[in-house]
């Protein structure tokens, strides 16, 4: 007699429609889904190309946890910002990364 193996429990972060639908798929489809997810992860984790960054952004070395590119930027508080002789405020660190097919930035801290 063999022990019954329980179906794995999906992570809580997985949307219900995926948690309900994935166990119903055959092995070939699940392998295709896994390959697609691996490609998506690779796409979203790849460094952001310099050409994609704002003109005044300067790429810096730093740990982003494998997600995006760390840059140093000066920001302006408004269209007529003349702070710091017109150079703006900062510099500040931002992490640029891909999310849902678009480039996103996140404030990290003062440089």
pLDDT at 1: 54
Q: Where residue 3 falls among pLDDT bands split at 50, 70, 90?
A: low
Q: Is residue 90 part of a domain?
A: yes
Q: How many domains does the chain have?
A: 2
Task: List the domain range (segments joined by +) for residue 36.
Answer: 16-45
Residues 64 and 88 in one domain: yes
Q: Is residue 32 part of a domain?
A: yes
What is the pTM for the complete model shown? 0.61
- My answer on whether 62 and 82 are in the same domain is yes
Cα separation of the two ends of the chain: 64
pLDDT tens readout for residues 24-39: 999 999 999 999 999 9
Residues 28, 62, single domain; the answer is: no
Residue 98 counted as domain residue: yes
Contacts 24+ apart (CB under 8 A), 94-97: 94/57, 94/70, 95/64, 95/67, 95/68, 95/69, 95/70, 95/71, 96/48, 96/52, 96/53, 96/57, 96/68, 96/69, 96/71, 97/44, 97/48, 97/64, 97/67, 97/68, 97/69
34 domain-assigned: yes
């Amino acid at each position: 007699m063999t022990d019954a193996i329980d179906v794995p429990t999906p992570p809580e972060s997985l949307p219900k429609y995926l948690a309900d639908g994935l166990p119903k798929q055959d092995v070939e489809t699940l392998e295709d889904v896994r390959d697609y997810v691996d490609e998506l992860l690779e796409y979203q984790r790849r460094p952001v190309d310099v050409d994609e960054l704002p003109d005044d952004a300067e790429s810096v070395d730093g740990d982003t946890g494998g997600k995006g590119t760390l840059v140093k930027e000066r920001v302006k508080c408004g269209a007529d910002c003349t702070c710091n002789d017109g150079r703006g405020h900062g510099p500040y660190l931002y992490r640029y990364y891909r999310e849902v097919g678009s480039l996103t930035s996140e404030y990290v801290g003062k440089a």
